[in-house]
Amino acid sequence: MIPVIALVGRPNVGKSTLFNRLTKSHDALVANYPGLTRDRKYGEGEFLGRRYLLIDTGGITGEEEGIDSAMAAQSMQAIEEADAVMLVVDSRDGLTPVDRRLAEYLRQKGRQVYLVANKIDGINPDVAMADFFELGISDIYPTTATHGRGVRQLMEAVLAPFPEVPEPEAEDEAAHGIKIAVIGRPNVGKSTLVNRLLGEERVIVFDLPGTTRDSIYIDYEREGKSYTLIDTAGIRRRKNVSMVVEKFSIVKTLQAIDDANVVVLLVDAQEGLVDQDLHLMGTAIEAGRALVLAVNKWDGLDADNKSRIKSELQRRLRFVDFADIHFISALHGTGVGHLYESIEKAYASATDKLGTNRLTRILQDAVTEHQPPMVRGRRIKLRYAHAGGKNPPVIVIHGNQTDEVPSHYTRYLEKVFRKVLELHGTPVKIEYRSSDNPYAGKKNKLTVRQMAKKRRLMKHVKKK
């Protein structure tokens, strides 16, 4: 097993910046805003061929209330999981009572602790670190996470006690499991659903919109199958987004949609389907992701409201008739287990291998049933089709005048392919390629020769 290293410390001391530096990524949100990281985030890093797993945590003050107490509990859980702990402090602030309490807590837990004196740039390291020696931690490393100063010495010391772990053999994408992104507006129950799917309190759940600010990737197994669940920040309408932090969160959510194989869109049954739900749905479809719809808080409605919402969904979701709809209660678990059936089915459809012969036969049958329109007196010709990609399935159609194919005929072909191929839960993307005309350009040359010959004949006639 590769070593697990947890980053802990007060808010805004630079833990997420150090996390990004050590994982060579921008996975953790970084901004000059205390308490930005709330859930614990995992990332894999490598240093001189040595692999390790890093856990970024929320800031701890010891005076947490409400949601902050849940955030602190996540940090404590990360300490329990870790083989080593980096206690990050701010060199400019000096030693604080919170730093003392954290150091004492880690000493009681018996963890190997490395004190990271961050933000050392511009000040004398010896003077800055003098205060921290009273914590009794012998391993103190001055760093500047933003520029990478001191990081090499830190990682050499942290990884030294652990044996080297060889690189894993290359695996195909399926071996890593299905990536499932749970998206929706704020406070619709996304984190509650994630915890229900996992069977544990893995992410913070609190009755406050915007609790999740970052996209949390969680690897797990269920019934022998591998999955990655992505809990995302809720996305509000653009005009309602004011905080810079929330704008960052929206970007991370959009990246999670793009990174996922299947998107589960969560809708609040008590509020009904709103325009923002449709906008999120359109974003997922535009990204080409397989889609499953989950209507949450269903058990809190009476029969009349349930009937009304079902009618509304049927009327407004005709453009996504390929997606399965589930009526669930994330809090009590009602109907949640059935989501996996639709997720598996949607993923299988989105990644199915499609043969050229079969696609061409479907295309020819569709054209026979309903021919393409005429353009400038000529019929559009669609000759054959082949697969051009997966997740979403891309079908490339070759023919003549394909640039002139109207959108309604493309939608007709999408429905035919989806129906015949039995593709559930995934959009189908059609691309066109126009065949080169072997006689293009030759006709004009022939006309020129004919005109020259005609002129010679006319001169000959005049002479006679």
Per this entry, what is the length of the chain?
464
Most confidently modeled range among 40-49, 123-132, 304-313: 304-313
Residue of 350, 288, 282 lying closest to 316 (CA atoms): 282
- The class of domain 352-464 in CATH terms is alpha beta
Residue of 5, 3, 14 lying closest to 37 (CA atoms): 14
pLDDT in tens, 89-148: 999 888 999 899 888 888 888 888 999 999 998 888 888 788 888 888 888 899 998 899
pLDDT in tens, 176-194: 689 998 888 888 888 889 8
pLDDT exceeding 90 applies to what percent of the chain? 32
CA end-to-end span of the chain, whole Å?
A: 102
Q: What pLDDT does residue 207 have?
A: 39
CA distance 333 to 57: 28
C-beta of residue 342 within 8 angstroms of C-beta of residue 438 = no
Q: For residue 42, give the 3-state DSSP assignment.
A: strand
pLDDT, greater one: 459 or 44? 44
CA distance 163 to 153: 18
CA distance 337 to 324: 14
Can you give the residue ranges of every domain in the chain? 4-159, 173-349, 352-464
Q: Residue 303 burial (CB < 10 Å; 0-12/13-18/19+)?
A: exposed
Q: What pLDDT does residue 300 have?
A: 81
pLDDT in tens, 149-185: 999 999 999 999 988 765 544 344 445 689 998 888 8
- Same fold? 173-349, 352-464: no
Mean of the pLDDT values across residues 12-16?
A: 87
Q: What is the chain's alpha carbon radius of gyration, rounded to the nearest angstrom?
A: 30
pLDDT exceeding 70 applies to what percent of the chain? 76
Q: For residue 399, give the 3-state DSSP assignment.
A: strand
Roughly what angle, to the nearest 10 degrees, separates helices 67-81 and 97-109?
40
CA distance 52 to 179: 22
Among the ranges given (194-203, 261-270, 305-314, 412-421), the one the predictor scored with the smallest mean pLDDT = 194-203
- Tell me the helices (H) and strands (E) count for the chain, helix number first: 13, 17
pLDDT in tens, 218-260: 888 888 888 888 877 655 444 443 443 334 445 567 777 888 8
Q: Domain 173-349 falls in which CATH fold?
A: Rossmann fold (3.40.50)
CA distance 277 to 114: 46
C-beta of residue 67 within 8 angstroms of C-beta of residue 211 = yes
pLDDT, greater one: 32 or 344? 344
Q: Residue 146 burial (CB < 10 Å; 0-12/13-18/19+)?
A: middle
Among the ranges given (35-49, 103-117, 367-381), the one the predictor scored with the smallest mean pLDDT = 35-49
The superfamily CATH assigns to domain 4-159 is P-loop containing nucleotide triphosphate hydrolases (3.40.50.300)
